A and B are shown apart, each in its own frame.
Chain A
Amino acid sequence: MKMIVAYINPFKLDEIRDALKEAGVSGLSVSNIQGFGRQAGHTETYRGAEYEVDFVPKVRVEVLVDDTLAPSVISTIETTARTGSIGDGKIAVLPVEDVIRIRTGERGRDAL
């Protein structure tokens, strides 16, 4: 099993959710985050005072999937999130030791 963590542009979220559903993903978690990468920060102006703000808003998508589904989920996120501009984000793939469905106590692949 794999945990796929994607850091994406917020405006890509709806598209990615739809594409992942299509690809057979049965659930995912998202959160609003802030960070910086090569895109670096941006300027904000409040009452004439300019501030260099390092962190830009991003969305983190987490998907737990079976090993067999992982390659297609990764490529789906990759192609959907890509605009070609700096700031498109990153995808990390992590091995998962175990998964437990809290309601039933099912474990491993059955819990996905």
Chain B
Amino acid sequence: MNSGDTAWMLISSALVLFMTPGLAFFYGGMVRAKNVLGMLMKNYIAMGIVTITWVIVGYSLAFAPDMGGGFLGGLDFVGLKGVESVFAEGEEAGAIHAVPVPDTVIMVFQMMFAIITPALISGAIAERMKFTAWAVFVAIWSIVVYAPMAHWVWNAGGFLAKLGAVDFAGGTVVHINAGAAALAVILVLGPRLGFRREAIRPHSLPLTLLGAGMLWFGWFGFNAGSSFGANGLAANAFITTQIAAATAGTVWALMEHMTRGKATTLGFASGAVAGLVAVTPAAGFVGPMSSMLIGALAGAVCYLALQIKFKLNVDDALDVLAVHLVGGILGSLAIGFLGQNAINSFTKDGLLFGGGMDQLIAQTIAVAVAAVYSFVVTWILAKAIDVTMGLRISETDERRGVDLSMHEEQSYVMSE
């Protein structure tokens, strides 16, 4: 065991977990005051439920030896059976993950990704989804959508991994997955009362900026931790993460300034998150100037993508499509142009580094597979929950707000 690597992976795991509360506050500030606790709870409950599903079966379906065809892990690690904190006598690495870090540490690091991915979807369904329906959705989704996709991309036996597609920290598995799922759920769920007619405004942007800061901070664990060691690749991922986030936030603010005359705080925070999303798949495959280009594109493209929901006329309340689906696609494809084999031997050189079309084709297939699988299975799941237990709160409850109608609590009480 390497204590430096293990220490970094333990810290990274905590950093990634910290992103989910960050996301909760990022989203929580953007909803109306009557729906804040409902928003926070939809994120926090993911920390509860997905920990349970991951330990019992999710980790096994994702990382156990392949059942055949590269589509699903087996049941060898159900209940974490055989996932050890110490190495076998004379071994330098864990039995499952070929790194000098205990398998339990890699398992818990991956758990934090499994938690935040369904939590990302909560931004799209904000202010109108039933809490119990959400809880059931998260439990099943983490098993039937997240775990298989993690297997395809991140298990050496997965079919997308064998195809040569790469995803450093979750462009396909996390962001495209959550973004496509968000679209599927809101198609079943329908728009909020007053969508496109009333001014539904963020109730506390300071909370949103606080959450964005927590996300940015935690993202260093997400991306630099995905090197699975305290090494040069982690350093590369760390700096590309910082550069992309900073550039995307700045470019988004600049776009606002140029098109509307004023840069906004929500715009800078949104841009930074879009940059973090876009660099996620690429962080360990591209160099600093490439990450600046990815950040600049993310800031500009995701800003323009905000119009999608109005074009499609779907109420993606907090813009999960524009930020996570579009940002995830952008970053995943960017590897096909900007990836460098010298930085990480898992990728071929991208188109702009003289490597030809191979990596770009593999990336395109992975993007399409992730988006289509997530959309289709999530739509079926949402429809099934809608028919059996109802996905949406009543009109009266929606007007009263999720906080009172789902949780019998209020975010802001008058005095004492």
Residues of chain A having any CB pair with chain B under 8 Å = 44-53
Contact = CB atoms under 8 A, between A and B. Distances in A.
B199 A48 contact: no
B192 to A, nearest CB: 14
A45 B270 CA distance: 14
B80 to A, nearest CB: 41
Given A47-B319, A51-B201, A52-B199, 6 more contacts: A45-B260, A45-B264, A47-B266, A48-B260, A48-B307, A53-B201
A46 B319 contact: no
B133 interface: no
A44 B201 contact: yes
B236 to A, nearest CB: 31
How many chain B residues sit at the interface, stated as a range, is: 10 to 19
B201 A48 contact: no
Contacts, number: 28
B262 A48 contact: no
Contact of A45 (B262, B303, B307, B319): B262
B267 interface: yes
Contacts of B256: 45, 48
A50 B266 CA distance: 13
Contacts of B306: 47-49
B74 interface: no
Interface of B: 199, 201-202, 256, 259-260, 262, 264, 266-267, 270, 303, 306-307, 319
B262 A47 contact: no
B319 A53 contact: no
Contact of B264 (A46, A51, A52, A53): A46
A46 B307 contact: no
A49 B259 CA distance: 12
B199 A47 contact: no
Nearest to A44: B201
A51 B32 CA distance: 15
8 contacts: A45-B264, A46-B201, A46-B202, A47-B270, A48-B306, A50-B260, A51-B199, A52-B199
A53 B202 CA distance: 13
